[in-house]
Amino acid sequence: MTIKDARKLLDSRQITAIELVQFYLKNIEDKNKELNVYLEVYDDCLTQAKEAQKIIDEGKAQSLTGIPLGLKDNILIKGRKVSGASKILESYTATYTATATQKLIDQGAVILGRTNMDEFAMGSSTENSAFGVTKNPHDPERVAGGSSGGSAASVASDMALGALGSDTGGSIREPASFCGVVGLKPTYGAVSRYGLMAMGSSLDVIGPITKTVTDSEIIFNTIKGKDKMDSTSIPHPDFVSTSPKLGEAKKIKIGVPYHLLEQGGISEEVKENFEESVAKLKSLGFEIKDIKLLNIDKSLAIYYIIMPAEVSSNMARYDGIKYGLSKEGKDLLEVYKKSRGEGFGPEVRRRIILGTYILSSGYYDAYYGQAMAAREVIKKEFTVAFDAVDAILTPTTPAPAWKIGEKTSPLENYLADIFTVSANIVGVPSISLPSGYVKIDNKDLPLGIQLMAPHLGEHILFEIGKKFLKE
Amino acid sequence: MQDMISKEEIKKLADLARIEVTDEEVENLKSEMGDILDYVKLIQQFHSDESFPKGKVEEGSDIEVGQLHNIMREDENPTESGTYNKELIAEFPKKEGDYLKVKKIL
C-alpha cells in the first residue's frame, strides 16, 4: 500500500485511521525484534490515530491525515525522547519540535516512533548506532544502509507508510537504494533544519523515504518551505509536476557522466543494471546525453574534509554539562573528557578528531581552505552541466548492500558515498529510485539509480521518477 | 602514508576536542586517519583557477547560482524570559534548585 492508496481508503471510509495504524503496529510487533528498525514505538499511536479520524470525519483531511510515518531518531518532537542513536543522548527528552515534524503533526499524521540510524547520522550502514545495527528486510544478514537505515527499512518492510530521514552525504538515498524504496534529498534549504540534530550544517537536509515517487512528492510538499527558525531555509515554489504527452512537450534531457563508471570499485551488477536503466529511460522518450564532470571525482575528498570540520564544531555542544550523559570527574576538564569519551561511539570520536585536525592552524589552508575552493568549482561545473541537460543520472551506490560487519576500515565505508556526496556539496536536489534486483547468495538485493536536478528542481526529479516507475 | 599523522598529534587533538581516548584507540586512529588523510589529500592537487573545465560540457554557459551570502535579521521581539525554563532545566544532569551545577573551575 502507498500513501496515495491509503488516502483514498481513508477518505472513502473503507478503512479508519485506527485500523490503518493497527496494521502497521502489528507489523512492527512481528518484525522489529529481528530487523531492529525502531528504537522506540510511541505508546500513543492509537490516540494519534483517533485524533486523525476525527479530522477525517469532519471532512477536513489533508494529504497526510491519519498516515502512519516513521521518524529518524535525530528529528525532534517536544516532550518525546530523541537520542541520535547515541549513548550521550540516551535519556534526553526534546525541548522543542522540529519544523518538518510540526508540519506533519499539523496535518494529523500519525508518528509511529523513532527509527534507528548511525550515531548522529555518521555512517552508511547503521552499524554505527549505539543501539545495534538495522537489518535489511531483503536479507537480514545485510545492512539496511545508512545513516537513515531504520527509516528506509521501515518503509520497505511495511512498518510505516513513509518516513523522514536526513541526508548529509547520501544518508537518505543510499539506504533507500539498499532497501528498494524511493529516497529524496531535497534542495539544500528547501526543508527547514530547525529541530534536526546538526551534523554538517552546510550539507544537512531532511527528506522523505517512501514506496513511490508520488508519495515522496506528497511528503515533500508538506514539509518544504521557508522557516523563520532556520535562516538558511528558502521558499520553494509550488510546481505542479505535470506529465506532458511524449513528443508534444520539449524532450527532457538526462546527462550521464559515463566516465564516472569507469573508475574502480563499481560492481559489475551495478554497471549492468545502470545500462538497463538508461535503456529504459531512452525507451520512455528521454534524451540521454553523455556529459563530463571533470572534477566530480574529487567530491568525496571535498566531502570528507568539509563534513568532519563541521562535525567537530557541531559536536562541541555535547559537553556533559547542559544536557545528556554526564560522567563524574575530578575537575571540569575531566567531566568533559569522560562524558564525550564514553558518550560518543568510535566513528563520532574519529570524525571529531579528524575535523579538529583539519581545522587546526597549519593544516587549515591545505585542507579546509582548499576544499572550500574546490566546492565552488564543483558548483560551477554543475551549473554549466545543467545548462546542457535537465537532470544528471548515476547509480546511487557502487554496489548493493554489504554483509553486516564485512567492511572493516572507515575509508572502505566512506567509498559507498562516492555518487551521492556531490549533490550535498552543490546543494542540488537528488532522488534515488529503485531500479531492479540482483541475485546474490540466493537473495534478491535491490539496486538504485540516482537523479540530480538544478536547485529547486524537485519537480523534474518527480516527473522523470514517476515515468521510470510507471506511476 | 604511515607518516601522515603521529600518535602525539592524535593525543593532542583528542585533548583539544575534550575526548578521552585509550592508547589502543590512538594506535587505531593513527592508521585510520592516516588512510583518510592520504585519500583526501588529492584535493591538494586541485587548482581552482585552471582546472574548471568550461569548454568540456556541451552547450555550457557561465551563470552564477547558489552564491553564499549573509542573512541578517533585526535583534527584536525576544522570547519572554522563562518561557522554556522548565523543559531546559529538566535536562540538566546536575542542578541545585533552578541552577546548573558544575565543578569548581578555580
Q: Give A156 to chain B, closest Cα distance, Å.
A: 33
Q: Do A341 and B52 touch (CB under 8 A)?
A: no
pLDDT per position as a tens digit, B19-42: 999 999 999 999 999 999 999 988
Range of the domain at B37: 7-50
In chain B, the N- to C-terminal Cα span, in Å, equals 43
Note the pLDDT of residue B48: 53
- pLDDT-derived band at A239 (thresholds 50, 70, 90) equals low
Say if residues A318 and A340 touch (Cβ distance below 8 Å).
Answer: yes
- pLDDT-derived band at A246 (thresholds 50, 70, 90) equals very low
Say if residues A108 and A222 touch (Cβ distance below 8 Å).
Answer: no
Say if B106 is an interface residue toward chain A (CB within 8 Å). no
Note the pLDDT of residue A244: 47
Mean pLDDT of A386-415: 94
pLDDT per position as a tens digit, A61-75: 999 999 999 999 999
Q: Do B48 and A377 touch (CB under 8 A)?
A: yes
Domain residue extents for chain A = 1-471
Q: Which of A83, A129, A147, A299 is catalytic?
A: A147
Residues in A touching B25 (Cβ below 8 Å)? 346, 349
Note the pLDDT of residue B49: 53
Residues in A touching B9 (Cβ below 8 Å)? 357
3-state helix, strand, coil in chain A (%, to 5): 40, 15, 40
Q: Greatest CA span in chain A, whole angstroms?
A: 75
Q: Which residue has the cell 523543559?
A: B87
In a mutational test of the A interface, the residue from B6, B7, B20 whose CB has the highest number of chain A CBs within 10 Å is B20
b or e along A193-229 (b: 16 or more beta carbons within 10 Å of the residue's beta carbon)?
Answer: bbbbbbbbebbbbbbbbbbbbbbbbbbbbbbbbebee
Note the pLDDT of residue A112: 98
Residue A241, pLDDT > 50, answer no
Question: Domain A1-471 classified CATH 3.40.309.10?
Answer: no
pLDDT per position as a tens digit, A58-117: 999 999 999 999 999 999 999 999 999 999 999 999 999 999 999 999 999 999 999 999
Note the pLDDT of residue B55: 38
Residues in B touching A292 (Cβ below 8 Å)? 53, 56-57
Where residue B43 sits, what CATH number does that domain have?
A: 1.10.20
Note the pLDDT of residue B59: 39
User: What is the rounded radius of gyration, in angstroms, for the C-alpha atoms of chain A?
Assistant: 21
Q: A147 an active-site residue?
A: yes
Q: Do B92 and A427 touch (CB under 8 A)?
A: no
DSSP B78: P
Q: Residue B42 falls within a domain, yes or no?
A: yes
Q: Do B36 and A93 touch (CB under 8 A)?
A: no
Q: Which of A83, A166, A171, A432 is catalytic?
A: A171
Say if residues A199 and A168 touch (Cβ distance below 8 Å).
Answer: yes
Residue A198, pLDDT > 70, answer yes
Note the pLDDT of residue B63: 34
Residues in B touching A348 (Cβ below 8 Å)? none
Residues in A touching B5 (Cβ below 8 Å)? 357
Note the pLDDT of residue B66: 52
Mean pLDDT of A262-274: 93
Note the pLDDT of residue A230: 95
Q: Residue B59 falls within a domain, yes or no?
A: no
Mean pLDDT of B94-106: 90
Q: Residue B84 falls within a domain, yes or no?
A: no
Rounded Cα–Cα distance for residues A256 and A155 (Å): 29
Q: A78 an active-site residue?
A: no
- Which chain A residue lies closest to B16 (C-alpha atoms)? A356
Q: How many domains does chain B have?
A: 1
Q: Do B35 and A411 touch (CB under 8 A)?
A: yes
pLDDT per position as a tens digit, B51-92: 444 433 333 333 334 567 788 889 998 989 999 999 999 999
Q: Do B29 and A356 touch (CB under 8 A)?
A: no
pLDDT per position as a tens digit, A132-162: 999 999 999 999 999 999 999 999 999 999 9
- Which chain A residue lies closest to B65 (C-alpha atoms)? A383
Say if B51 is an interface residue toward chain A (CB within 8 Å). yes
| ipTM rounded to 2 decimals | 0.90
pLDDT per position as a tens digit, A310-332: 999 999 999 999 999 999 999 99
**Closest to A163 measured CA to CA, from A97, A200, A216:** A216
Q: Do A95 and B42 touch (CB under 8 A)?
A: no
Q: Residue B40 falls within a domain, yes or no?
A: yes
Residue A249, pLDDT > 60, answer no
- DSSP secondary structure, A141-186, as one string: EEE--SSSHHHHHHHHTTS-SEEEEEESSSTTHHHHHHHTSEEEEP
Q: A72 an active-site residue?
A: yes
Residue A247, pLDDT > 80, answer no
